[in-house]
Amino acid sequence: MSQADVSPTAATVADESVESLDERALVEACLAGRSDAFDLIVERHRRSVYQLCFRFVGNHEDASDLSQDVFLRAYRGLRSFRGQASLATWLYRIGVNVCLNRVSVKVPAQVSIDEREHEDTRAESPTQRLLRDERAVRVRAAIAQLPRKQRITLILRMYQEMSHQEIADVLGSSVGAVKANFFHALGNLKKLLATE
């Protein structure tokens, strides 16, 4: 039995708390006009969407704007969600497209070391923290210079911890292509860091 078969329909969820609904039913509730259903989708996925955006653009302001844009586009395209992939994968796909469109017209910014005051670094000495932050800035700058597909693949694999299959679903490619992109991303990262 498919997921759609067991999901409450839009009509039956009208009086139900959205908290108990599965993804498909949540989408149906949104389409039926329940704004609280989409609020819940945002609440469940906002952190991962924000983190994805941040890793693309490297600063809070842009990541915040992009996250809002991702959810707005998701809402506009809600009827095209067919439940074949998970809602998270579908949102990632939108997120990747939104980020790539933004990044293609804007050089990714990097957070300066001084601005990174939110992190809990109490276990580190000031020197260790400085070295770690400098290394992170260099690595992010190098990642930003990778070809698009290699960069996306590395971000999704290393930081979003998505499987090769999930990345392939997001990018609309094969698992083999994802692995090849990851392989070349690591190789190019080494060259980029070596030339600095």
Partner 1 sequence: MHLTPEQFIDLVEGASAESATGHLETCERCRAQLVELQEMRAVSTTGGDVPEPSPLFWNQLSARVHEAIAAEGAPRVAWWRPSTWPWLALPVGAGAMVALVLAFVLTSRGLEPVPAPDPAPIAASAPDPGVEDASLSLVADLAAQMDWDSASEIGAPLHAGAADEAIGDLSPAERRELQRLLQELARPGA
Residues 59, 109 contacting (CB under 8 angstroms): yes
Give the separation between CA 65 and CA 155, rounded to whole angstroms: 19
Quote the least distance from Cβ 77 to partner 1, whole Å: 7
Alpha carbon distances (Å) from 137 to 64, 129, 188: 20, 12, 17
CB of 137: closest distance to partner 1 in angstroms? 8
Q: In angstroms, rounded to a whole number, what is the distance separating the alpha carbons of residues 192 and 190?
A: 6
| Shortest separation between residue 167's beta carbon and partner 1, angstroms | 12
Angle between helices 23-31 and 35-57 (to 10 degrees): 110
Specify the residue, 1 or 162, whose C-beta has the smaller distance to partner 1: 162
Q: Which is nearer to partner 1, 151 or 169 (CB)?
A: 151
Closest separation in Å from C-beta 2 to partner 1 = 20
Residues that bind partner 1 (CB under 8 A): 30-31, 33, 35, 38-39, 42-43, 46-47, 50-51, 54-55, 60, 64, 67-68, 71-72, 75-80, 111, 116, 118-119, 132, 135-136, 139-140, 142-143, 154-155, 158-159, 176, 179-180, 182-184, 186-187, 189-190, 193
Local structure of residue 19 (DSSP, 8 states): G
